């Protein structure tokens, strides 16, 4: 976990959906799971996990895709860009797609999850970071919600 000290803005490819992440606790992880791969089309996804009270839309509205009964992915209904992921039935955390931030380098990756399904071509990606073959550390959710 690290502490974000300034707000971060982000948005989708077409610009119809914009959002802001407010300062506070954040964890940043590469996810190598097959669902993120299918949803993004990218060989690996990078997620910033924050308390949902610190993430809000500043323009437009999301469409949601339910992944079974367990989770849902929020995306722009116009351009299809995936912006957020959350487990359903909880209000403790939401994952923001770091690649959709205006300044993605503000949130450096801290660890890997689901390396059990990592692509061979991603094996050389940040080997110095801690890695979990499954969903990773059950970090306590940020409790600094305003
Ligand atoms: Zn869009
Ligand atoms: Zn994933």
Mean pLDDT for all residues in the chain: 92
Q: What number is the average pLDDT over the span 120-129?
A: 96
pLDDT at 135: 84
Distance (angstroms) between ligand 1 centre and the Cα of 49 equals 21
Distance (angstroms) between ligand 2 centre and the Cα of 4 equals 22
Pairing of strands 111-113, 24-31: parallel
pLDDT at 143: 38
Distance (angstroms) between ligand 2 centre and the Cα of 61 equals 23
63: CB partners within 8 A, 6+ apart: 74, 75, 76, 77
Distance (angstroms) between ligand 1 centre and the Cα of 21 equals 18
Distance (angstroms) between ligand 1 centre and the Cα of 133 equals 32
pLDDT at 68: 83
Distance (angstroms) between ligand 1 centre and the Cα of 137 equals 32
Cα angle 110-59-106, degrees, rounded to a multiple of 5 = 20
CA–CA distance, 140 with 17 (Å, rounded to integer): 29
34-78 confidence digits (pLDDT tens): 999 999 999 999 999 999 999 999 999 999 999 888 999 999 999
Of 2.60.120.260, 2.170.150.70, 1.25.40.10, 3.40.50.720, which CATH number belongs to 2-122? 2.170.150.70
Percent of the chain residues past pLDDT 70, beyond the cut:
94
pLDDT above 90 for 13: yes
Distance (angstroms) between ligand 2 centre and the Cα of 32 equals 6
Percent of the chain residues past pLDDT 90, beyond the cut:
86
**What are the residue ranges spanned by the domains of the chain?**
2-122
């Amino acid at each position: 976990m690290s502490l974000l000290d300034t707000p971060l803005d982000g948005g989708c490819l077409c610009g119809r959906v914009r959002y802001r992440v407010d300062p506070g606790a954040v964890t940043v992880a590469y996810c190598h799971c097959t669902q993120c791969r299918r949803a993004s089309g990218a060989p690996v996804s990078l997620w910033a996990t924050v308390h949902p009270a610190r993430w809000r839309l500043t323009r437009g509205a999301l469409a949601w895709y339910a992944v079974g009964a367990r989770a849902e992915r929020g995306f722009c209904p116009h351009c299809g860009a995936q912006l957020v992921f959350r487990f359903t039935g909880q209000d403790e955390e939401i994952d923001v797609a770091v690649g959709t931030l205006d300044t993605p380098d503000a949130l450096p990756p801290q660890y890997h999850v689901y390396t059990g399904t990592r692509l061979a071509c991603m094996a050389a990606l940040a080997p110095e970071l801690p890695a979990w073959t499954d969903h990773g550390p059950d970090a306590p959710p940020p409790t600094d919600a305003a």
